[in-house]
Chains A and B, each alone.
Chain A
Amino acid sequence: MRYVEEFRDPKAAKVLLAEIEKVTNEIGATKEKPVHIMEICGGHTHAIFRYGLDRLTPEGIEFIHGPGCPVCVLPMSRVDECVEIAELENVIFTTFGDAMRVPGTRKSLLQAKADGADIRMVYSPLDALELARRNPDREVVFFGLGFETTTPSTALSIQQAAREGLNNFSIFCNHITVPEPIKALLDDPHMVLDGFVGPGHVSMVIGVHPYDFIAEDYGKPLVVAGFEPLDLLQSVLMVLRQIRDGRAEIENQYARIVPEHGNPVSIAAMADVYQRRPSFEWRGLGEIDASGLRIRDQYKAFDAEEKFGIGYAAGPRNVQEPEGCECGAVMTGRIKPTACPQFGKGCTPEMPLGALMVSSEGACAAYWQYGGRRAVEAAE
């Protein structure tokens, strides 16, 4: 089994699409009265557009693009702090590639690099750790960013650094968690959601049970989904069947990768290294209780906030989002990206103004890349 091609089989897709259409009709969903399904993860948003799934599924299904792109939801103040650390003398600042373009108040990391800061793209915090070993006279800082998918590898790098007694390695921790913002969205009185497609890579780490509250407390179905087009179609069908049958359960479509209780090694590493912050700011969504992680005091030596007296260690800093950005309304499904007054005007991937245009997995960037731009041009 090659584990990719079989999940892109057009024949199987046709069967699923026919069944999706049937169940959508049974629910009575139409273009005017659609079923609202939120794909939480930016990877899913991207796959939906890349394979044209939004055009293949019936008009009675409306996809709402959720907050699951860690680059998109990073507040501007944190980007500013990244730039400040990166511009310190003797620092090598390491980051995942797609965080390079996120605009801060003054500049992005890409611009800071052009201005002379030593900023390097890495694919894993373990690569940053290796840089620290090879450059004992320099301070190597890793921009810890992402949901539960990337959080364990950062934890492992801290544990390893502690074992080796490295004193020139630290993490600027911006790790966030998925269940809390979903709860915040569900508590939003403006929110109209009928079900969720959950991020498979996150559940690979935490399992499916952290989502139980969505079914139990809010009566909404969630299906943990893989990232291939057939995974997504099957997950949408599973959500639709639950809605049709009046059920609300947490189901696991991605069982070939996702263990029910997650990965115990990752969970243990996270518990050892991090504790929850009382709250964390999300771009477009504001402060969300207990949605961010900080490094425990035991590992304080590897916490860049402590080391450089920055971020939450330095007290709150209030940075205004650019005027006219409707990221919050897009992320909660109240408007489509193209309905934002800045879409394609003040805000494009070349000059992103708002969070969702920044990362290629943001909803607005996906709309733009796969045709939204043309829609704007055609309307003019």
Chain B
Amino acid sequence: MTLRDTKVTLSHGGGGKAMRDLISEVFTCAFEPESKEDQARLMHDALLQPGAQLAFTTDSYVVTPVEFPGGDIGKIAVCGTVNDLAVGGAKPLWLSAAFIIEEGTDIALLRRIVASMKAEADKAGVKIVTGDTKVVGRGSADQVFITTSGVGVIPADRNLRADNIQPGDVAIVNGVLGDHGATILAARGDMMLTSDLKSDCAALGHLMEATCNAVPVRACRDATRGGIASALNEMAEAAGCAIEIIEEALPLRAEVKGTCEILGLDPLYLANEGTLVLFVAEEHAEAALAAMQSVDTGKEARIIGRAKAGNPLVTMRTAFGGSRIVDMLVGEQLPRIC
């Protein structure tokens, strides 16, 4: 061990020995990339199958606080990119991770984040094969920002696109809605809320593999920022058909409902980090549910609605038998006065 500092300083981004020590003793010792070259060289049997397609995605992660009940920024950075691949039907294989670190950040915090990324990558069956580190002055970033890119392989016979959705198809979610958004709201402490909620942050590659192997999935999206409402609106728009969800079928924890009641927020727009919605033909709905429920991250899978012929609108049948439009969110949800 040559890294003696407890906090990141600008010298850790300077390209010299301090930077080399930080990289080797915090990052590469955990991620264990096969080579220390600037590029990762990738080979996998799945690539050799005729008709297989490469899938490539990238995303940046900023979250306050960086550690919260149920996860941290590193876990989200792995799960989010794995999920971007998985919901497109790809088997996630490799990730890159680029860190922008604020001067003064605790190295112990970085180590926790990196350990959490490694644990989540192992669980998801992906490798973090390349990366980058930059240090910026105090105030130029909020502790740490992470960009992860991911590469996966889509088998030849798989085509998941929102415009595949047909009227009559059934919409299924894998788990409860809004836990992540409500957890972050409480964890920020601005609202003086306390709760036992945990983020739903999870990688969904295995869930998608199990489901796609069991039934032909028409389309899938993860319901991250903007919540389930935004994901469904995007799908309705792409498919050119209506989607109706049933209020009583929506899986919402009492605590999430309560937080939303207090703050005047709508749980349909709260962010999720381990929730997806997929569409299958009605005759495959039961088999899809069974396949999803066989995987940990799909235990609470359930049907929440279906696609219908008509204008690309998302509507919700309320418990009263009334109906209302669930539109795209404008801006961000802000807590109300009273």
Which residue numbers of A lie inside 8 Å of B, CB to CB? 2, 4, 8, 10, 13, 43, 49-53, 55-56, 70-71, 96-101, 120-124, 127, 145-147, 149-150, 201, 229, 348-350, 359-361, 369-371, 373-374
Compute how far the CA of A127 lies from the CA of B330 in the bound complex, rounded to whole angstroms: 27
Question: Which of B101-109, B159-167, B293-301, B314-322 interfaces with chain A?
Answer: B314-322
B157 proximal to A (CB < 8 A): no
Q: Let me know if B337 and A53 touch, CB within 8 A.
A: no
Additional A-B contacts beyond A123-B192, A146-B338 (17; CB < 8 A): A4-B257, A4-B261, A10-B319, A43-B338, A51-B324, A52-B323, A97-B334, A98-B336, A122-B190, A127-B190, A147-B338, A350-B331, A360-B334, A361-B264, A370-B324, A370-B327, A374-B325
Q: Let me know if A146 and B337 touch, CB within 8 A.
A: yes
In the assembled complex, the CB of B265 is this many whole angstroms from the nearest CB of chain A, namely 9
Residues of A within 8 A of B318 (CB): 51-52
Compute how far the CA of A120 lies from the CA of B254 in the bound complex, rounded to whole angstroms: 29
Residues of A within 8 A of B231 (CB): none
Residues of B within 8 A of A51 (CB): 318, 320, 322, 324
Residues of A within 8 A of B324 (CB): 49-52, 370-371
16 A-B residue pairings within 8 Å (CB atoms)? A2-B254, A10-B321, A53-B320, A56-B320, A56-B321, A97-B336, A101-B334, A121-B190, A146-B337, A149-B337, A349-B331, A360-B336, A361-B336, A369-B325, A369-B327, A371-B324
Residues of A within 8 A of B319 (CB): 8, 10
In the assembled complex, the CB of A355 is this many whole angstroms from the nearest CB of chain B, namely 14
B70 proximal to A (CB < 8 A): no
A/B pair count, beta carbons within 8 Å: 93
Compute how far the CA of A335 lies from the CA of B84 in the bound complex, rounded to whole angstroms: 47
User: Interface readout for B282-311 with A: 1 if CB under 8 Å, 0 if not?
Assistant: 000000000000000000000000000001
B335 proximal to A (CB < 8 A): yes
Q: Let me know if A150 and B337 touch, CB within 8 A.
A: yes
In the assembled complex, the CB of B252 is this many whole angstroms from the nearest CB of chain A, namely 12
Q: Let me know if A96 and B322 touch, CB within 8 A.
A: no
Q: CB < 8 Å: which of A150, A201, A371 contacts B325?
A: A371
Residues of A within 8 A of B1 (CB): none
Q: Let me know if B334 and A55 touch, CB within 8 A.
A: no
Q: Let me know if A127 and B192 touch, CB within 8 A.
A: yes
User: Interface readout for B158-199 with A: 1 if CB under 8 Å, 0 if not?
Assistant: 000000000000000000000000000000001110000000
Residues of B within 8 A of A98 (CB): 264, 334-337
B313 to A, closest residue via Cβ: A374
Residues of A within 8 A of B325 (CB): 369-371, 374
A10/B190 contact (C-beta < 8 A), A71-B337, A96-B336, A360-B264 known:
no
Residues of A within 8 A of B335 (CB): 96-98, 121, 123
In the assembled complex, the CB of B19 is this many whole angstroms from the nearest CB of chain A, namely 32
A233 to B, closest residue via Cβ: B320
In the assembled complex, the CB of A232 is this many whole angstroms from the nearest CB of chain B, namely 11
Q: Let me know if A349 and B338 touch, CB within 8 A.
A: no
